[in-house]
A and B are shown apart, each in its own frame.
Chain A
Amino acid sequence: MELLVASAIGLLTAVGAYLVLRRRTFPVVIGLLFLSYAVNLFLFVMGRLAIDKPAIYSPDVAGYADPLPQALTLTAIVISFGMTALIVVLSLRGFLETGANDVTIGPDDMQRTFGSQQKRSGHE
């Protein structure tokens, strides 16, 4: 079972890394989503795998899954949502503002966007 989980985490990481290296905003957002799946799972398995041992206290239960990584992962999932939401909205606003959805700015775009400003600050 450990092998399955470890390879799944690896797969998610690889997909996430590949997508994050793309040139458009949307694949990067999806890539981050995959990376957060991988990271959350990784964090979770630090408590090792346990089957049928939920962390619900009861006097007559012998073993529990480690609750601490679970608690940390829970907030991590929610924060990942916050981050994904923020980034997708950032990319959306950027697209609406500029009409472009690249994460790489070419030299021409630089000139267009910042050229006049650089000129201004250069003198005086």
Chain B
Amino acid sequence: MKLALIALIPFFGALLPPFTARSGRDLCMAVTAAVTLCALLLLLSEVPSVYAGEVVRWSVEWVPQLGLAFSFRLDGLALFFAALILGIGLLIIVYARYYLTRSDPIGRFYAYLLAFQGAMVGIVLSDNILLLLVFWELTSLTSFLLIGYWSGEPASRRGARMALVMTGGGGLALIAGMLMLGHIAGSYELTEILARGDQIKASPLYLPALLLILLGAFTKSAQFPFHFWLPQAMAAPTPVSAYLHSATMVKAGVFLLARLWPALSGTDEWFLIVSLTGIVTMTVAAWIALFKEDLKALLAYSTVSHLGFMTMLLGFGTPIAAVIAVFHVLNHATFKAALFMCAGIIDHETGTRDSRKLGGLLVLMPITSTLALIATASMAGLPLTNGFLSKEMMLEQAAHTAYAGVTWLFPVLATLAALFSAAYSFRLAVDTFFGPVPRDLPHQPHDPSPGMWLPVAILIVPVIAIGIMPELFAGAIVRNTAEAVIGQAPPAVKLALWHGLTPALGMSVIAILGGALLLFFIRPIETLRAAVWRPQAERMFTAVIDAAVEVARRFMAFTHRNALQDYMLIIAIAVIGVGAFGFLTGQYAPGERPMLPMSAAAVVGWIVLAVACIATVLKHRNRLLVLILSAVVGLIVSLGFMQFSAPDLALTQISVDVVTTILLLLALNLLPKESPVETPGGRRLTDGAIALIAGIGVAGLAYAVMTRGFETISGYHIAQSKPGGGGTNVVNVILVDFRGLDTFGEIIVLGIAGLTIAALLSSALRGAAARRLDAMRPNVESKDAHPLMLSVATRVLLPLILTAGLYILLRGHNLPGGGFIAGLVVAIALIMQYIASGYAWAESRLRFDAAAMIGGGVTMAGAIGLASLAFDWPFLTSTFGYVPLPLIGEVEVTSAMVFDIGVFLTVVGTVLLSLATISRVEHRAEKASERNIAAKPADAAPAAPAAQEPAVVAGGAGE
């Protein structure tokens, strides 16, 4: 539990900074730091057991079918990395408080930072590799937010996007690789995988899995040729750079290599790929860093170079190299975080990071400069700093490594890389801290407040302490961590300042002297370098992305026609084609089911329907007429339901028709009343032909079905209706009982539709829509919008209809009726008040909230469904009983009744909400048109003669 908490505390803690940001930056920082401190203390409380050789594990199943579990594991390696992440995180949090200006939203910054921190800790503590992948992707996402923190800057957005594409893309490869790894090992638990190294290396899937995993690790750790995203990510605020590029984000790739070291390393493939990638990255990045004038860019390439350093050591695949890699992770994290923070201080105080403009800062900012110089010395690999020790040990290893039979390659390249490192470090020191004091700086620099330099100073302490007495300060940590990496006791490594006269010492001397010498020739080399063409990975990346965007756009332009007409035509033709294919390739025989005799009433109904349909097609431009015709069709349809023994359907259809017609009328009032002739005649003919074929097809299909016999499962429903469901109206019992879950889903959908309508229309009262509403011209059809007769009649009818609605609801279980129909009827009664007496009148008297009714109805139906769980019955099981009441006799009470009331409430709420919101929009247009009349009496006079509205016209004239 404790382990999961360490990873989860930062995530939950990320909720706090946004809330405390308003109470001041100091409090916000304190809260954020407290969160990290909590996690760190929890972690440190495990130190004794881990250092006693124990592997702490904790696990909870998540999706066992997939092998996914919430399992965490703390060994030396995880402890080492988690401590780095949380410890340096704490310093960064303090530093960022002073780095960020007042205009930067600090709450958001700390929230991102904590979320990122949680994801990083999650990676290093995960025991399940699928869980590790989840955290891995989370670091990509949260680092995207952090790098793009200054989202107003194009460079920030570009850098963030590139980082996301590279690390996220690598993450995809990693997912595939990890799945293969888990498949080979037969388990997704790291503990199991690490124990099955031999089985994994012997598998035919070893190489593909290895390549995919390396792709993930190399993109994350910015290894050549994926190194270019890291310098771009320098657009982030400096605390982010310091955090991401010293101890966390980019170290995740190195961590992964170290974590999987026992399972994957030791093969030729591993050595050939990993060590070569490492040394190439180390050398090339160091060379590029030499020419960077921006302090952060120089540090970025230096970071890439040092990551190559660690990758190469892990690639050697020998235990001793792994020990050195771990040692360097520690050393690099300390001096690089310190240097990034110093670069931030310099930028903050002087207003520039350009080394050409800087100089002489040792005089102006003595504290910062001293700290930065010590860290630079460590980066250069000078003695008495921790950077010297790990570099020395690395050179020693490189000196004895032959690559594919070539013995000179590694010693030479490693020396060169060390030489370049020394050179760029010297250059940084000389250009920034020594020389004449610059005059034209944007600000007059001086040392910042201790809040900014103290975190740096804290990091400098281990740089020197380890540099002078490595065994005392780092010996135990390195050995414990290395043991976890290797999986067995590490070889005896002496961490000491003096190893005697070794080849490494010679290489070191060459590197330092050569680096200093190189500095004198830097100008001519720079000119030469600028003259020679060199590949620009960043430009290639941009070109690839642009090409992909272009292809996508062409494809979109080809398929996306923005014409519903065309899409519909394609769909109709496709459906007809499929139907025709089935019909033509199949066999047809007339059905044997005897037909019902035609009745005169049915024929009349059919004729009315046919006339209405034909008139609709011919007159469809006259929208009001079409609306009336569609209502006629609806009426015939409900009569049809009545005729064919479906009273429930008839009732539903007719009440739905009333509501639909009112709604369409209200909408039409605001829409244009006519459709213009736009489609050419030929197209209209084709459309007509297609529609006709579709109609014939559907009619034929319906006829074919109706003339055939069938087997139904309804026998069960009819037989069980009374004994099982407690009701005689089988349709209603099916709705609320047998298929209650369907109905539950239906009312949820209905409620969502109602809420969407309300949202669509309420927001129409602002912006462009509102302006268009306000500009509407009056549409005076009747001089009395709310006739007295209608108002009085609907008010008198209201209680009667409500009673009828209640009756329909209550009897629904046994006779035609039920929640749907009752809901529609009641809604109509209420809507009638809006129509007859106006929006303002009705709205001011409405005592309930329609949206709340929807919510209440769905909740009620769901709650009664859940109640059955309490009796160990499945969800939505219904029950019923008989309660004797005095005078009335026995009354049936069913749980389905409560469900039906939920349905009822949802329907009423949905209908009322939709129609009331649209009325509100109408109301606004109505008031606006009144205003328009008042404002322009001359225009309005013909439409509304002065005699009708003397007050309005007089008022308008008087203004």
Could you list which residues of chain A lie within 8 angstroms of chain B, going by C-beta atoms? Answer: 1-30, 33-34, 37-38, 40-42, 44-58, 64-68, 70-71, 73-75, 77-86, 88-93, 95-99, 101, 103-106, 109-110, 118, 121-122, 124
Instruction: Indicate if B694 sits at the interface (CB-CB under 8 A).
Output: yes
Chain A residues with CB under 8 A of B750: 78-79, 82
Across the two chains, which residue of chain B brings its CB closest to A97? B769
Assess the B656–A81 pair: CB atoms within 8 A. yes
- A93 and B761 form a contact (CB under 8 A): yes
A10 touching B626, Cβ below 8 Å: no
Interface size on B, residues (CB 8 A): 122
Q: Please give, as numbers and ranges, the residues of chain A lying within 8 Å of B568 by CB-CB distance.
A: 20-21
**Cβ contact within 8 Å between B713 and A81:** no
Contact B699–A13 (Cβ < 8 Å): yes
Chain A residues near B675 (CB, 8 Å)? 22-24, 26-27
| Closest beta carbon of chain A to B387's beta carbon, Å | 38
- Whether B757 pairs with A8 at a CB distance below 8 angstroms is no
4 new A-B contacts, CB < 8 A, other than A23-B678, A41-B640, A68-B717, are A4-B598, A5-B640, A12-B633, A18-B691
A-B contact pairs, 19 of them (CB 8 A): A3-B595, A7-B703, A14-B694, A15-B616, A17-B691, A18-B691, A19-B620, A21-B569, A55-B718, A65-B646, A67-B731, A84-B660, A92-B921, A96-B921, A104-B563, A110-B562, A121-B549, A122-B553, A124-B161
A17 to B728, CA, bound (A): 39
| CB-based contact B572/A71 at 8 Å | no
Docked Cα-Cα span, A20 to B690, in Å, equals 12
Specify which of B158, B595, B717 is in contact with A124 (CB 8 Å cutoff). B158
Candidates A33, A57, A71; contact of B728 at CB < 8 Å: A57
**Choice from A6, A18, A27, A57 contacting B706 with Cβ under 8 Å:** A6
Measured in the bound complex, the distance between the Cα atoms of B737 and A68 in whole Å is 12
Interface centre among A11, A53, A88 (most CB of B within 10 A): A11
Q: Kindly report which residue of chain A lies nearest to residue B917, judged by CB atoms.
A: A89
A95's contact among B564, B671, B695, by CB below 8 Å, is which? B671
Closest chain-B Cβ to A68's Cβ sits at a distance in Å of 5
Report how far A6 CA is from B697 CA in the complex, Å: 10
CA distance A101 to B767 in the complex (A): 18
Taking CB atoms, residues of chain B closer than 8 Å to A85 are 660, 663, 753-754, 757, 914
Would B710 and A71 count as touching, CB distance under 8 A? no
User: Which 5 A-B pairs rank lowest in CB-CB distance, beginning with the nearest?
Assistant: A10-B699, A14-B695, A6-B703, A103-B564, A96-B769
Which residues from A are CB-within-8-Å of B688? 18
B731 touches A86 (CB 8 A): no
Asked whether A49 lies within 8 Å of B644 as measured between CB atoms, the reply is yes
Q: Which of B263-289 contact A (CB under 8 A)?
A: none
Residue of B nearest to A93 (CB): B760
Residues in chain A near residue B705, CB distance under 8 A: 45-46
In the bound complex, what is the Cα–Cα distance between A21 and B566 (angstroms)?
Answer: 8
Contact of B157 among A37, A57, A95, A124 (CB under 8 A): A124
A53-B645 in contact (CB<8A): yes
Let me know if B927 is at the binding interface, CB within 8 A: no
Question: In the complex, A19 Cα to B918 Cα: how many Å?
Answer: 24
Binds A, one of B190-198, B603-611, B796-804, B889-897: B603-611
Evaluate contact between A26 and B671: CB separation under 8 angstroms. yes
Q: Is B599 an interface residue (CB 8 A)?
A: yes
Interface check B790, CB cutoff 8 A: no
Asked whether A54 and B735 contact (CB < 8 A) given A73-B649, A122-B549, the answer is no
Report B-chain residues with C-beta under 8 Å of the C-beta of A13: 691, 694-695, 698-699
